[in-house]
Amino acid sequence: MAFIELHDISKRFGGVQALAGVSLSIAAGEIHCLAGENGSGKSTLIKIIAGVYRPDSGTLRIDNDAAPLTPIAAINHGVQVIYQDFSLFPTLSVAENLALPSELRARRRLVSWSGVRKLAAAALARLGVAIDLDASVETLSIAERQLVAIARALMSEPRLLIMDEPTTALAGREVARLFAIVRDIQAQGIAVLFVSHKMREMLDISERITVLRNGSVAAAGFAQAFDEAALTRAMTGHDITAQSYRWRPRHGGAPRLELRGLALPGVLAPIDLALHAGEIVGVTGLLGSGRSDLALTLFGLRPRYQGEIRIDGRLVHLRSVAAAIASGLAYVPEDRLTEGLFLTQSIHRNLLATSYAALAPHGIIDFAEARARADAMMREMQITATDGNQKVIALSGGNQQRVLIGRWLMGEARVLILNGPTVGVDVGSKAGIHERIRALAEEGDLAVLMISDDLPEIVQNCNRVLIMHRGRVVEECGAALLSDAELGEKLKALA
């Protein structure tokens, strides 16, 4: 007997048909995966189940009750949503974060601190995790915050727990722990709706999978009936070929980027590395491996480094971002929204952000030239937008990433450092971005350093892989003979 049943649900926002005739049922105690690219309608569907949106047509039954759903009614039926941001209070203690919602539900006016602690301790005990109740949430790691959010959701005795992209910010070992907890929750008879776009995880955890594409169900069925290729096809509508990247050494000459004994006291042990034009070298490692510090050092953000950095054989001193840019380094940061893009500005301005000096030989910007170059780059990066004046905030994640990469290609970048190039980008755009990166390395004569947690991404796109651990490069291997499973084993062995 299904706990919740959606039949032929449609929802429209203005001119956009967010959902068209979606049917979905979740049985009690089932782990169900909702898959789909960004913009496929996953979030709208979650909000309909949570009672936040009312569908335009179709029926929704919880416990065979077809009454219109409000947020309160959904909660009373036992639907709990853990949003991507966890909805926690960073400056408050773990105990209070856990207990506040139940205290509010009980319509209390006064706070009993002993009651708060007791409730909170019981909630963590139920999950089998130990977190200091008095610590403020901002001092916790992302994984611990997620555990607090899960523990809090379980306090209201839910029957369906919806987890929105729960593994996005987690490292490999934390994902394993999360999955153990999800199975444990299932064993308590609670259904879990797991929203994701990572195929390996979906196949791993779920019993049934529903794939959305453009607001409709593209495929649905038991997890055993799917493999990665089938899921990709359902999510994107076409096959994405996985062909690994081959690099052919070219005529001699100095490497594009050469590190000799590059070190950061206490953070990075001395690293020797040579990167040639056309190479894509992957860097991976667990959290805290020092890989991001390596990238930041090369981009001039760790001025107290030791050792030598050479670009095209010339010794450079990367003590500031300006020096790094002038030396031909380009860096695409991990968090493009906060570190890389000017969200409220136009695509053109974002693309041109580092090129204005070059376009203003006498201190006055040549706007016609600027527009022409920016338009050319939009075509080159295949950015989908109405025109260059559109604000970046209105673009999809994939297009935003293209803008950011495109910005660096406007200048004379010789070494491109990508940190998590496709985090939060959906499968279809991801393949497109990979294709651009490969083409840039091959034709544009760039050397690319690609830092990523996404092992298939590394294995497919890199010709070499460096594995970092605790500030040193512990292994270097050619990617041609490597599978992502083997790479995963190597990382697990370090943990």
Partner 1 sequence: MTFSFLRRSETAIALVLLVAMGLIGLVNPAFWDLANLFSLARSNVIIGIMALGVLSVMISGGIDVSFPAFAVAAMYLTIRAMLAWGWHGVVAPFALAGAIGLALGLVNAFFVSTFGMIPLIVTLGTGALVRGALLGLVGTSQINIDRMPQELIDFGNLTLLSRIGPNGTHFGLSAMILLYLLAALLVHLFLTRTMLGRGVYALGSAPEAALRVGFNRTRVLFTVYGLAGALAGLAGLLHGSMIWLANPRDFVGLELDVIAAVVLGGASIFGGRGSVLGTLLGVFMLVMVANSLIIMHIDTTWQRIVVGGIIIAATTVTSFRDRRQLA
CB of 169: closest distance to partner 1 in angstroms?
15
CB of 89: closest distance to partner 1 in angstroms?
4
8-state DSSP, 136: B
Could you say whether residue 90 binds partner 1 (CB under 8 A)?
Answer: yes
The C-alpha atoms of residue 18 and residue 306 are separated, in whole angstroms, by 53
Could you say whether residue 130 binds partner 1 (CB under 8 A)?
Answer: no
Q: Which stretch, 41-49, 121-129, 133-141, 456-464, contacts partner 1 (CB under 8 A)?
A: 133-141
Could you say whether residue 142 binds partner 1 (CB under 8 A)?
Answer: no
The C-alpha atoms of residue 46 and residue 449 are separated, in whole angstroms, by 37
Burial 65-83 (b: 16+ CB within 10 A, else e): eeeebeeeebbebbbbbbe
Nearest to 385 by CA among 365, 406, 367, 370: 406
The C-alpha atoms of residue 75 and residue 101 are separated, in whole angstroms, by 12
Could you say whether residue 134 binds partner 1 (CB under 8 A)?
Answer: yes
Q: How far is CA 70 from the centre of its chain?
A: 31
CB of 47: closest distance to partner 1 in angstroms?
12
CB of 196: closest distance to partner 1 in angstroms?
22
Q: What does 301-357 look like in DSSP terms, one character per residue?
A: S-TT-EEEEEETTEEE---SHHHHHHTTEEEE-S-IIIII--TTSBHHHHHHTTTHH
Q: Which stretch, 94-102, 194-202, 296-304, 331-339, contacts partner 1 (CB under 8 A)?
A: 94-102
Q: Which stretch, 81-89, 260-268, 435-443, 464-472, contacts partner 1 (CB under 8 A)?
A: 81-89
Could you say whether residue 109 binds partner 1 (CB under 8 A)?
Answer: yes
Nearest to 330 by CA among 406, 277, 424: 406
Does the CA dihedral 371-377-380-383 come out positive or negative? negative
Strand partners, 32: 193, 208
Could you say whether residue 91 binds partner 1 (CB under 8 A)?
Answer: yes
Could you say whether residue 157 binds partner 1 (CB under 8 A)?
Answer: no
The C-alpha atoms of residue 285 and residue 287 are separated, in whole angstroms, by 7
8-state DSSP, 412: T
CB of 280: closest distance to partner 1 in angstroms?
31
Closer of 100 and 220 to partner 1 (Cβ)? 100
Report the residue from 6, 9, 19, 100 that binds partner 1 according to the rule CB under 8 A. 100
CB of 35: closest distance to partner 1 in angstroms?
25
- CA torsion angle 333 337 342 347 (round to 10): 90
Give the Cβ contact number of residue 320 at 10 Å.
13
Closer of 13 and 89 to partner 1 (Cβ)? 89
Report the residue from 110, 130, 364, 368 that binds partner 1 according to the rule CB under 8 A. 110
Report the residue from 16, 65, 89, 306 that binds partner 1 according to the rule CB under 8 A. 89
CB of 230: closest distance to partner 1 in angstroms?
36
Nearest to 445 by CA among 293, 315, 274, 255: 255
8-state DSSP, 482: -
Provide the token pair at 37: 């690219």
Report the residue from 64, 70, 139, 224 that binds partner 1 according to the rule CB under 8 A. 139
Could you say whether residue 335 binds partner 1 (CB under 8 A)?
Answer: no
Q: Which stretch, 104-112, 203-211, 250-258, 376-384, contacts partner 1 (CB under 8 A)?
A: 104-112
Strands 415-419 and 329-332, by their bridges, are: parallel
Closer of 267 and 326 to partner 1 (Cβ)? 267
CB of 91: closest distance to partner 1 in angstroms?
4
Report the residue from 16, 66, 111, 376 that binds partner 1 according to the rule CB under 8 A. 111
Walk across the sheet containing 57-62 and list its strands: 16-27, 2-13, 57-62
Binding site for partner 1 (CB under 8 A): 83, 85-92, 96, 100-101, 103-105, 108-111, 134, 136, 138-139
